[in-house]
Amino acid sequence: MNNKEAAILPKLRRILEGLGENIKYARLRRKYNAEQVSERANISRNTLWQIEKGSPSVSMGAYAQVLFVLGLEKDIELLGKDDVLGRKLQDAELKVSERAPKQKKKSNND
């Protein structure tokens, strides 16, 4: 395994560390030891330890395997689901190519 860590911003590092902490607490609440989770996720105990520390060098697949073992795989589906910023940017660039036709007013004689 490559020992070189990816260079990431401090804010993202804190987010990953929080994710790792949440994964660790989820494991402990379920009363699973590290060996059980790593075996079921088909990863080494060291990789699980790195995940629980929030290491950016661990693959997304390994994180997903651990979440699956803990029964939290549905949480992955929530990532990026409600993209508020993306929708605002998309709406800002919408152009109206032509206007809808004006509706004719109904006369009282009709």
Enter the pTM of the model: 0.73
Reference 20, options 83, 82, 70; nearest CA is 70
One-letter amino acid of 18: G
The domain over range 17-81 is classified in CATH as 1.10.260.40? yes
**Residue 47 neighbours by CB distance under 10 Å:** 21
Average pLDDT of 96-108? 71
| Residue 56: DSSP 8-state | T
At residue 109 the predicted structure's pLDDT band, cuts being 50, 70 and 90, is: low
Rounded CA separation 53/45 (Å): 12
**What confidence tens digit (pLDDT) does each residue in 29-75 have?**
999 999 999 999 999 999 999 999 999 999 999 999 999 999 999 99
Two tokens, residue 70: 């803990």
Tell me, what's the pLDDT at 19?
96
Q: Which of 12, 16, 39 is nearest to 27 (CA)?
A: 39
Q: 101: pLDDT confidence band, cut at 50, 70 and 90?
A: confident
Domain boundaries, the chain: 17-81
